[in-house]
Amino acid sequence: MKNRITKWFHERFEVQKLREPIQHQLEKPLPAHIGWPHTLGSMSLFLFLSQVLTGILLLIYYRPTTH
């Protein structure tokens, strides 16, 4: 059953086409001066921007009611 679902998912969403560019980026060597501080800083920026985006969406669509 799991194989059928996995096969359908790969056929439906063309996972291989999405995987190739990501794999290409992951295989690039990093410069020697890049370390965990750079990675964690990028992750913090990403999380902050995602909170800003979801906050804006809540600001637009949220309607507090008692019903």
**What HEC string does the chain produce?**
CHHHHHHHHHHHHCHHHHHHHHHHHHCCCCCCCCCHHHHHHHHHHHHHHHHHHHHHHHHHHCCCCCC
Contacts of residue 15, Cβ cutoff 8 Å, sequence gap at least 6: 9
- Where are the domains positioned within the chain? 2-29+36-61
pTM over cut 0.85: no
In angstroms, the CA 54 to CA 7 distance is 33
Q: What is the pLDDT of residues 12-62, one digit of tens each?
A: 888 778 888 889 988 988 888 887 777 888 899 999 999 999 999 999 988
